[in-house]
Amino acid sequence: MYARIRGIPERHIGTCVEQILEELLMYAYTDKLVKTYSGGNKRKLSTGVALIGEPSVVLLDEPSTGMDPVARRLLWGTVARARKSGKAIVLTTHSMEECEALCTRLAIMVQGQFKCLGSPQHLKSKLGSGYSLRAKVRSEGRQEALEEFKAFVNLTFPGSVLEDEHQGMVHYHLPGEDLSWAKVFDILEQAKRKFMLDDYSVNQVSLEDIFLSFTCPMPPTQEGKKPEQAKPAPPPSQPPSQPPSQPPSPLPSEPVLL
């Protein structure tokens, strides 16, 4: 039906449908009702419908939600081949891994407004300067060892920010000024022996870190509100008037990564 809607000639419909079924490995479900499909298979079917007929522009809304890792990789491969063939693909997703795998350019939207636009590496270089340090301190019940390591990081990397701490695991953001990979690893290798670190990792700031930096909850602004003037008290014979009910404030829109 969708092939006919897309204007595919009747003699080519079978070939086009079989090609989509082969790419998405859905031959086993061709004779089953769609309502019996799992969530992942329904997502694959929707993607197949979007790709049939070789459209020049493809719109996908979180195409890999609910899929297992194997099906997700299969779908990404199908979408990547469609992109390489010259099609323009616009997708919305909350998966940073999906953005890394498929997107040549991405935009972060928060509350209906675009916050940034560019390639993944461009956004990392421009908005994610510095390094992400995660370390596990072998404190063995001694809080002093953890505190000593935190003091060492604050002294050695001025401007570092402790983003998370849980059961001896600390996560720091290290500023990138005058820091190289070699220098960071040399310092941490020495600290590993001195502070008894079980493990540590240093990474470039990820897309997820950039995404979270834009979507942190902000207190709602009260712009444009004027203080209410005092109203005269009602006469004793009349019941007190009720203030007009205020409509509920709209909820902030969910951040979506394109």
Are 12 and 72 members of one domain? yes
Same domain, 95 and 134: no
Q: Are residues 91 and 172 in the same domain?
A: no
Domain final residue, candidates 175, 205, 235: 205
Round to whole Å and give the CA distance between 188 and 202. Answer: 9
Dihedrals phi, psi of 244, to nearest 5 degrees: -60, 140
Separation between Cα atoms, residue 106 and residue 120, nearest integer Å: 7
Q: Are residues 174 and 91 in the same domain?
A: no
Per-residue pLDDT of the chain (258 residues; tens, 9 = 90+): 888 888 888 888 888 888 888 888 888 888 889 899 888 889 888 998 898 888 889 999 999 888 888 889 989 999 999 999 999 999 999 888 898 889 999 999 888 888 889 988 888 877 777 788 888 887 665 678 788 888 888 888 888 888 888 888 888 888 876 777 788 888 888 888 888 788 888 887 778 878 877 876 544 444 444 444 444 445 554 444 444 444 444 444 444 444
Residues 23 and 77 placed together within one structural domain of the fold: yes
**What's the CATH number where 156 sits?**
3.30.70.870
Residue 159 lies in a domain: yes
Q: Which pLDDT tens digit goes with each residue over 190-211?
A: 888 888 788 888 887 778 878 8
Assigned domain for 66 exists: yes
Same domain, 32 and 88: yes
User: What pTM was computed for the model?
Assistant: 0.60
Q: What is the CATH number of the domain that holds 23?
A: 3.40.50.300
Residues 11 and 86 occupy one common structural domain: yes
> 121 in a domain, yes or no?
no
Question: Could you tell me if residue 212 is inside a domain?
Answer: no
Is 118 in contact with 140 (CB distance < 8 Å)? Answer: no
CB 92 within 8 Å of CB 62? yes
14 plus 47 within the same structural domain: yes
134 and 96 belong to one structural domain: no
Q: Could you give the number of structural domains in the chain?
A: 2
Closest CA to 172 of 184, 182, 180, 183: 184
99 and 19, same domain (yes or no): yes
Q: Is residue 172 part of a domain?
A: yes
Domain that holds residue 6: 2-104
